[in-house]
Structure 1
C-alpha cells in the first residue's frame, strides 16, 4: 500500500481517537475546550471518509479491504483497552465488561474469518 491509501485511514483513526478520548475522559473539556461543532464535524468527516475512501482508491483489492477492516477493529479495541486501563470510563457505555461490545467483536472476527476463507477460495481458482 502506498502512502495515499494510509492518509484517509489516519484521518479516520485520529477523529475516532479524539471523539473516544472525550467520551472516556469528559474532564478533558475543562482542560482543552473543543466546541460541539468540531466534534460534529469530526463525526461527519468519519462518515464521509468511510463512504468515499473505497471510491478514491483506483485499485480495489479484497486483501486491502480485509486489512482495513482488521486494522479498524483492532485499533478501536486497543483504544478502548488503553483508555480503560488509564482510568477512563465511557459515558456511552463502551467497556470491556459490556457483553454488547464482546458480541460486536465476535461478529466482526467471524466476518473477517469468513472473508479470509472466501479470499483463499477465490485465489485457488
Structure 2
C-alpha cells in the first residue's frame, strides 16, 4: 500500500475521531485522546502528507470531493441524532448549520455543472 493512501486514511480516521470527541466529550476515547492531541496528530499527518508529495499538487477527484462532503455533513447529523451535543456549537438549531449546508450544496452543484461541462467538451472534441 502506498504511503499517501495510508496517510489519507489516517487523516480520515483522526478527523472522524475529532468530530466524535467534540460531540461526545465524556467518552473513554475522549479521555484518552483529547481534542488537542487529535488536532496535533492531524496537523502532523497533513505536514507529512505535504512533505511526501514533494510539492506536487493533487486535485481531489469529483467523486472523492462529493463523498467527503456528504460524509462530513452525514457524520454531523448522525452524531447529533445519537444524542451528542457539539462543544463548539454545531447543531441543527444553529443558523451556522444551515449556512454551511447551503454553501456545501451550492459547491456540490458547481462541481456537478463543471463535470457536465467537461463531459460535453470531451464529446465535442470527438
Q: CA deviation at 1:76?
A: 1.1
In the superposition, the TM-score normalised over structure 1's length comes to 0.71
Check whether the contact 2:21–2:34 (CA below 8 A) recurs between aligned residues: no
| 2:32 partner SS | coil
- 1:70 equivalenced with 2:69 (yes/no): no
What value does the CA root-mean-square deviation take over the aligned residues?
Answer: 3.2
Unaligned runs of 5+ in 1: none
Counterparts in 2 of 1:108 and 1:35: CA distance versus 1, 3 Å:
closer
Check whether the contact 2:22–2:35 (CA below 8 A) recurs between aligned residues: no
Q: CA deviation at 1:96?
A: 1.9
In the superposition, the TM-score normalised over structure 2's length comes to 0.71
Q: Which residue of 1 aligns with 2:12?
A: 13
Q: How far apart, in 2, do the equivalents of 1:43 and 1:94 lie? A: 20
Counterparts in 2 of 1:36 and 1:122: CA distance versus 1, 3 Å:
closer
Unaligned runs of 5+ in 2: 122-126
Higher relative contact order (CA 8 A, sep 6+): 1
| Structure with greater Cα Rg | 2
1:120 to 106, 116, 122: 116
Check whether the contact 1:25–1:90 (CA below 8 A) recurs between aligned residues: yes
Check whether the contact 1:22–1:29 (CA below 8 A) recurs between aligned residues: no
